[in-house]
Amino acid sequence: MSIVLSIVDAVIARSREEGAEKVTAVELVAGRLSGVEAEALKFCFSAAVRGTLMEDAELTVDVPPSEGLCEDCGKRFPVDFHYARCSVCGSFRVTIVSGQELSIRSITLE
């Protein structure tokens, strides 16, 4: 819930800067390794926006796949955890290159 409250605060602040009267949509990106579940975000969002200019806003959460990059052979491959082994050469020198993000992608204002 604290993550959603921070998102709501950021969106409302931006909306006020723009002089908007209403927020109609919010699009988030929450990678598979971000530690945030999309369904939990949606559930908390509906409660957090009550009584705000975001009350009727539609929330969309994009969950991009998680990928690692092997520092030894250069192969990019899907990962399920922060600690990964290269699927090609077996190296553990893997850098997570996507899937950890948590951000506001877009806000639609009226």
Domain ranges of the chain: 2-65+98-109
Buried b (16+ CB within 10 A) or exposed e, 13-30: eebeeeebeebeebebbb
CA distance 82 to 96: 7
- pLDDT at position 66, please? 95
* H or E stretch at 76: strand 76-78
- pLDDT at position 98, please? 95
- pLDDT at position 8, please? 96
* Count of Cβ atoms closer than 10 Å to residue 73 Cβ: 13
- pLDDT at position 2, please? 93
- pLDDT at position 110, please? 93
Instruction: List average pLDDT for each run of 10 residues in the chain, which is 110 residues long.
Output: 95 95 96 92 94 95 95 96 92 95 96
User: Whole-prediction pTM value?
Assistant: 0.82
CB 31 within 8 A of CB 100: yes
Look up the CATH number of domain 2-65+98-109.
3.30.2320.50
